[in-house]
Amino acid sequence: MPPDAIKTLIQRLIKSASILCLAVTVWVFQAKAAEPPKTIGEQITMIENRHGGRLGIAALNTATGKRIEYRSTV
C-alpha cells in the first residue's frame, strides 16, 4: 500500500472515531439529563438550588384574574 493511501486511511479512521466519540458523549449526557420540572414551584426550587438563596414570586394574569404565588406574603 502506498504511503499516501495509509495516511488517508489513518486520517479517515481518526475522523470516524472522533465522530463516534462525540455521538456517544451527546447520548450519555442526554441519558443523564433529569426530567424537567413540571410545576412552577419545582422550577423555582430548581433555580434556588442552582444559584443559592430563596425566591418569593407572585404573578397575576390580568385577563383571567388567576394568581400564581410562591413564598408570597400577600
Once rounded to an integer, what is the mean pLDDT over residues 2-16?
86
* Total-model pTM: 0.40
Distance CA 38, CA 58 (A): 18
Look at the chain and count its residues.
Answer: 74
Q: Which three cell numbers stand for residue 19?
A: 465522530
Cβ-proximal residues to 30 (8 Å cutoff; 6+ apart), any chain = none
Query: DSSP letter at 39?
Result: S
- Look at residue 37 in the predicted model and tell me its pLDDT: 59
pLDDT digits (tens, 9 = 90+) for 22-74: 877 877 776 666 566 578 788 888 888 988 888 888 888 899 989 888 887 75
